[in-house]
Amino acid sequence: MVEQQPLQQPEPQPSEGVPEVLNFGDILSHAFRWGFGQYWRLLLMYLLWVVTIWIPYLNVGTTIAVSTGAPLLMSRRQRIDPTFIFDRSYRQIMGAWMVCLVLLLLGVTVAALFLVIPGIVLSIAWCLAPILLLERGVSPTEALRLSEQATHGEKWTILFGLLAVYLLYAIPALLVWWILQQILPEGAGITDVIGVLYAILAYAGLGAVDVAATGYIYAVLAKRV
């Protein structure tokens, strides 16, 4: 396994310490502050990913960058350049990343056969594995082991923290969508255009808080391993 190097050099950021202990409130606050703090950059990142998703081989690297690289950069409090998804370093770890993903999905699927809950627990235990693989350059199995070690004792905090982030974002977003449906003329072309634009912005917002929450959780827990 070739040792992975940082894919983007750090830029000066406002001083903001990351706590040593993971807690519910910090997941919420950092998810929204970090996510919305780089919302427009993340929106452009997602748009670049969508418009190039049809390009074979390149699309694997961009998918790895969006799903795994973005949370890693967020955990470092780096300013995200949307074009980072085209960095060839992401394509170079394609094999190891795919093996890690297959092992993760296979393990969670088998665990879920035991009345679902074990699958949920295992998915949380291994949730940091792709980021550890990317940053540390370890093997897929080692990344899974390190992730389980890092999340030990924190699984319920992670689960309820992420659920709260998604709900606190989704409820206002759906409310705005309902209001738009009430005030915009039914069947009009402008209604469809506004609806599509809002959906794009809303989905990007969900992605932003998800990336930020994952990045924050990684920033706190990865120091344990």
pLDDT tens column, 24-58: 999 999 999 999 999 999 999 999 999 999 999 99
Tokens representing 13 are 């950021």
Compute the average pLDDT of residues 201-225: 96
Is the pLDDT score of 19 beyond 70?
A: yes
pLDDT of residue 195: 87
- Each residue of 134-149: pLDDT tens digit? 999 999 999 999 999 9
Confidence (pLDDT) at 9 = 40
Write b or e for each residue in 74-93: b if 16 or more Cβ atoms lie within 10 A of its Cβ, otherwise e. Answer: bbbbbebebebbebebbbeb
Round to whole Å and give the CA distance between 150 and 122: 13
Whether 211 contacts 37, CB under 8 Å: no
What burial letters (b/e) apply to 140-151, b meaning 16+ CB within 10 Å?
A: bebbbbbbbebb
